[in-house]
Structure 1
Amino acid sequence: MTDYPWQPGSATGIGSYPGEDPAEALRIVLGELPDLPHLPELPARGPGADMTGRTAGLLVDMPIHLEPSGWRFSDRPGRDTQRALDHLARDLDVLEEVAGGHDGPFKVQVCGPWTLAATIELRHGDRAVKDPGAVRDLTASLAEGVAAHVADVRRRLPHARIVLQLDEPGLPAALAGTLPTASGFSRLRAVEEPAAEDALRTVLETACADGAAFPVVHCCARNVPYGLLRGAGAKAISVDLGLVPRRDDDAVGETIDAGVGLFLGAVPATGAALPPLKATAGPAQELWRRLGFPRAQLSRQVVLTPACGMAGASPGYVRAALKQCRDAARMLHEAD
């Protein structure tokens, strides 16, 4: 069995939250998700605080700038790159100030190589994912930058065990060949699975080397490639439970049988009415029963989360949803 860094009955968040105050957001996370807190992301602060810009700021020797069409690689660092670095530096300073004594698992999130390559343009305007050479350069740069980021977080949280989450919502579309070109009039060629797996493995192995972090890959889209993510070295896979169809039972079962953790998005990410706790915990229990795994294993291997990032939710809903995740996860543990 995998040595999971979290305790049975744990819950966590995915990444993004509403608002612009990193200290307030982090205090909410620490209060509502004490067993597996994470560094909240606040895209409402503007460019450079979004998922792509935030991670692109970590790239080594690959500066970016903002065009009307989105993020694009630059010849030299400019104010957009600096703004992304400033947002992250502020978040890490707050992290050290507010949570420096945390002595349990703590999760940080970065954009994975394929979603990053699908959302950054080359200098002439095509998506970087179209160019295999550009993807290789981006992957190497990202691996180096994320490793440095993990080391920085470990320095600021010396008593914590770091959990690294790669966000890859764009991976299924890249594999299926459904990503649109820059013009939007056609679709990019599908990425081959071995290439996709190799790039993910490069980032995870580099950033998590020697136990520096516990690797998780988050994919809140349909058609999650479970086998590919396991092969790349993910020790846990994060999905939207509402998008897990029965046709995925074999892939999910193989994932569980391999000892890979599951972060199951069981609570709506935006302001829907929250169901009773039993209705929140029920789908995870049903999945486990259907696949025939021991009930006592469920709360150890599964972490409950919102379905996706919560940047579009109200602050009040965020608190309620996180509490729902925490209480439902504890219910799973008490039912073992």
Structure 2
Amino acid sequence: MRGTGVGSFPGDSQRDYEEALAVVLGELAPDEHGLAFVPEVPGRGAGAAMTGRTLGMVTELDADLQPDGWRLTGTSGAPALDQRRARSLLGQDLDTLEDRAAGHAGPFKVQVTGPWTLAASVERPRGDKLLADHGARRELAQALAVAVADHLADLRRRLPAATELILQLDEPALPTVLAGGVPTASGFGKHRTIHPPEASEALGWVLDAASAAGATPWVHCCAPDVPIGLLRGAGARGVMVDLDLLDADGHDAAGEALEAGDTVGLGVVPTTGPLPGDRVLVERVLRWLDMLGLDPERVGGSLVISPSCGLAGTTPAGARHALELARAVARSVSP
């Protein structure tokens, strides 16, 4: 069993990114109970937040930053200034990673925003979200698949000793997309429901690209009504969820995933308020497994312990403590 983080850290400078990376490597890299990852520090600006960071990777589509958020420009050629900045910042972060972790000889995780959260966040050239346009949704997902393959190849070059690369696709908006709950630009209506076959197809393009690049594809969704079955059907070999937000169907679906040998990332470390002791969290994980009738010795190797969501809203000390707790719980529950 391993402990890990979702991705984001507090801070607003490059120094904060360097300190976040030092915490990740210090807390999660030393032994088999930690899963290190590429940290994100969204407080540095729109280009470092989840949407801008991923758009910086996508070289097949050009985007710029508007007052209401990111928008595709509808042009090809030189990307806009904000997208170039996002791309440059990501490259700088990966240079730092390579310098600090090139000899890392364990698994390593990287996070990328998924196609449906992007479609619900990014605007078309003429306004409103990409979610409103079937062709734009398709183009975005396919461009993201290419970007993910390139990104993983770059990471493999930078981390040649890593035993496994894990691609975590962040999809916090997916349940809202499936439920037809994303507001239109006017605010007076909602975008139409995206049906499961289309949602699965777009996810599959990106997850398959990760698998073809030699990485293990996971999906993270810290929202209610996570469609765990749909994600696994689309190719996810791991799902990361917030335990507090799972309903009865979600608990059963997570248990089925563990029994099938897929990974479940269980978000049990709080990201707000005082942090409990590791004993409290260990007991909670064991009670959850007992509720599902699962033997920790049999499924423990497929269970990952994490904070319930990102850590950008906490303090640096709080973020470090959260990762310490995740690893401590994983070590204690491990058979």
Q: When the two structures are superposed, what TM-score results if normalisation uses the length of structure 2?
A: 0.94
Question: Distance between the aligned counterparts of 2:308 and 2:254, measured in 1?
Answer: 17
**In the alignment, is the contact (CA less than 8 A) between 2:239 and 2:263 conserved in 1?**
yes
Matched with 2:9 is 17
The alpha-carbon deviation at position 278 of structure 1 amounts to 1.9
Matched with 2:147 is 145
Is it true that 1:209 corresponds to 2:212 in the alignment?
yes
Is it true that 1:159 corresponds to 2:161 in the alignment?
yes
**In the alignment, is the contact (CA less than 8 A) between 2:259 and 2:299 conserved in 1?**
no
The alpha-carbon deviation at position 262 of structure 1 amounts to 0.4
Question: Distance between the aligned counterparts of 2:284 and 2:244, measured in 1?
Answer: 9
Question: Distance between the aligned counterparts of 2:285 and 2:194, measured in 1?
Answer: 32
2:218 is paired with a residue whose SS is: strand
**In the alignment, is the contact (CA less than 8 A) between 2:238 and 2:263 conserved in 1?**
yes
Matched with 2:284 is 283
The alpha-carbon deviation at position 207 of structure 1 amounts to 2.4
Matched with 1:3 is none
Bigger shift: 99-108 or 272-281? Answer: 272-281
Matched with 1:295 is 296
Matched with 2:127 is 125
Is it true that 1:52 corresponds to 2:51 in the alignment?
yes
Matched with 1:29 is 24
The alpha-carbon deviation at position 120 of structure 1 amounts to 0.3
Corresponding letter in the other structure for 1:284:
V
Question: Distance between the aligned counterparts of 2:278 and 2:299, measured in 1?
Answer: 16
Question: Distance between the aligned counterparts of 1:110 and 1:59, measured in 2?
Answer: 11
Question: Distance between the aligned counterparts of 1:134 and 1:231, measured in 2?
Answer: 23
The partner residue of 1:177 within 176, 180, 194 is: 180
Corresponding letter in the other structure for 2:2:
S
Identity %: 48
1:165 is paired with a residue whose SS is: strand
**In the alignment, is the contact (CA less than 8 A) between 1:48 and 1:83 conserved in 2?**
yes
1:124 is paired with a residue whose SS is: coil
Matched with 1:99 is 101
The partner residue of 2:225 within 212, 223, 226 is: 223
Question: Distance between the aligned counterparts of 2:37 and 2:24, measured in 1?
Answer: 7
Is it true that 1:66 corresponds to 2:65 in the alignment?
yes
Question: Distance between the aligned counterparts of 1:104 and 1:134, measured in 2?
Answer: 38
Question: Distance between the aligned counterparts of 1:248 and 1:90, measured in 2?
Answer: 39
**In the alignment, is the contact (CA less than 8 A) between 1:12 and 1:303 conserved in 2?**
yes
2:205 is paired with a residue whose SS is: helix
Bigger shift: 322-331 or 238-247? Answer: 238-247
Question: Distance between the aligned counterparts of 2:296 and 2:152, measured in 1?
Answer: 34
Question: Distance between the aligned counterparts of 2:261 and 2:300, measured in 1?
Answer: 13
The alpha-carbon deviation at position 283 of structure 1 amounts to 2.5
**In the alignment, is the contact (CA less than 8 A) between 1:72 and 1:120 conserved in 2?**
yes
The alpha-carbon deviation at position 285 of structure 1 amounts to 1.4
The alpha-carbon deviation at position 131 of structure 1 amounts to 0.8
Question: Distance between the aligned counterparts of 1:241 and 1:250, measured in 2?
Answer: 12
Question: Distance between the aligned counterparts of 1:295 and 1:99, measured in 2?
Answer: 32
Aligned CA RMSD, in angstroms, stands at 1.2
The alpha-carbon deviation at position 208 of structure 1 amounts to 2.0
Q: When the two structures are superposed, what TM-score results if normalisation uses the length of structure 1?
A: 0.94
Q: Which runs of 4+ in 1 moved over 4 A?
A: none
Question: Distance between the aligned counterparts of 2:144 and 2:93, measured in 1?
Answer: 19
Summarize the alignment of residues 296-335 of structure 1 with structure 2, pairs less than 5 Å apart: 296-333=297-334
The alpha-carbon deviation at position 24 of structure 1 amounts to 1.5
**In the alignment, is the contact (CA less than 8 A) between 2:258 and 2:299 conserved in 1?**
no
C-alpha distance after superposition, 1:149-203 (max 9, x if no partner) = 0000000000112111000000000001111111221111110001001111101
**In the alignment, is the contact (CA less than 8 A) between 1:266 and 1:281 conserved in 2?**
no
**In the alignment, is the contact (CA less than 8 A) between 1:23 and 1:98 conserved in 2?**
no
- Cα distance change of structure 1 residues 245 and 282 upon mapping to structure 2, 3 Å threshold: farther
Bigger shift: 75-84 or 174-183? Answer: 75-84
**In the alignment, is the contact (CA less than 8 A) between 1:10 and 1:299 conserved in 2?**
no
